[in-house]
């Protein structure tokens, strides 16, 4: 079956290709090694999820980053971020919270069943984007973590409630407070990773095999089961997610984050 390109974002960083009932969404910034998120990229990711929602012919969507990194987190070196930081810490925090929250919510609520295909890093905002998907497939040795605490900031975008719902309270504490990172092999028993690709297989290839397995199932109950599971497990997290917006914006105005941001900008 031929592959048809159906979507390219305004920045060119997000593309969607379809094959039958399966869509593959790739976000990639070739100029940045760890494929970080920017406000523009988050906007494009939210638009891509909304595009999928308008496609009843798509049953399964794979979200993947570059061939070497799913996503290393939010880009503190982005030109737009730097300009806002100079103007106002409060404006910067509001932009990041809003853009990230919209992207995560769009991917959580899009009707197709979603699979994150993780190569290399899924850190910070990258981890939250992976958590917004229904399943996660990772290459052996892929790393998951939350470096925010050492950057003087708290995780946003509903990260901690989602992480606790996925792996449990104590493992989430170790990631969020101690800053522990988990390999794919360590993450799998906790439920953070569903399937692991061996060293010779890319995560995207394994995700495509899983997507084919899912797409073979009846489309209507597939979507209905996703909606019911989300209503049962994710909807109750909304109050906690609202609190984390306040925590994020508060910590983003702190001296520790300003110091770390300046260090990254100059490094």
Residue 83 lies in a domain: yes
Q: Which domain holds residue 18?
A: 5-204+215-266
Residue 210 lies in a domain: no
Residue 35 lies in a domain: yes
- Residue 48 predicted with pLDDT over 90: yes
pLDDT for 30: 87
pLDDT for 254: 62
pLDDT for 87: 52
Contact 72, 36 (CB under 8 A): yes
Residue pointed to by tokens 């939210």: 46
Q: How many domains does the chain have?
A: 1
Give the CATH number for residue 231: 3.90.226.10
pLDDT for 102: 94
Residue 193 lies in a domain: yes
Residue 129 lies in a domain: yes
Residue 64 lies in a domain: yes
Overall pTM surpassing 0.85 (yes/no): yes
* CB-based burial, 83-107: b 16+ in 10 Å, e otherwise: ebbeeebeebbbbbbbbbbbbbbbb
Residue 209 lies in a domain: no
Segment 219-241, tens digit of pLDDT: 999 999 999 998 888 766 655 55
Residue 67 lies in a domain: yes
List the single range of 29-33, 213-217, 252-256 with lowest mean pLDDT.
Answer: 252-256
Share of the chain above pLDDT 70, in %: 80
């Amino acid at each position: 079956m031929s592959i048809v390109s159906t979507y390219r974002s305004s920045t060119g960083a997000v593309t969607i290709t379809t094959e039958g009932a399966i869509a593959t969404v790739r976000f990639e910034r070739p100029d940045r090694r760890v494929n970080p998120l920017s406000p523009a990229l988050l906007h494009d990711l939210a638009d891509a999820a909304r595009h999928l929602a308008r496609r009843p012919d798509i049953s399964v969507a794979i979200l993947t980053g570059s061939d070497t990194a799913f996503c290393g987190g939010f880009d503190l070196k982005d030109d737009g971020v730097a300009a806002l930081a100079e103007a106002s810490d409060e404006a910067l925090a509001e932009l990041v919270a809003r853009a990230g929250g919209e992207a995560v919510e769009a991917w959580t609520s899009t009707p197709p069943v979603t699979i994150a295909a993780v190569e290399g890093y899924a850190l910070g905002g990258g981890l939250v984007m992976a958590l917004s998907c229904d399943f996660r497939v990772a290459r052996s040795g892929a790393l998951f973590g939350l470096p925010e605490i050492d950057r003087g900031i708290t995780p946003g975008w509903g990260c901690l409630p989602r992480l606790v719902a996925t792996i449990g309270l104590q493992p989430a504490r170790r990631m969020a407070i101690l800053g522990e990172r988990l390999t794919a092999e360590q993450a799998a028993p906790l439920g953070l990773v569903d399937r692991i690709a061996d060293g010779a297989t890319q995560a995207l290839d394994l995700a495509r095999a899983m997507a084919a397995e899912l797409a073979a199932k009846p489309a209507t109950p597939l979507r209905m089961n996703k909606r019911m599971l989300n209503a049962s497990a994710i909807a109750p997290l909304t109050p906690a997610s609202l609190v984390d917006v306040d925590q994020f914006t508060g910590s983003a105005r702190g001296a520790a984050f300003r110091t770390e941001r300046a260090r990254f900008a100059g490094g």
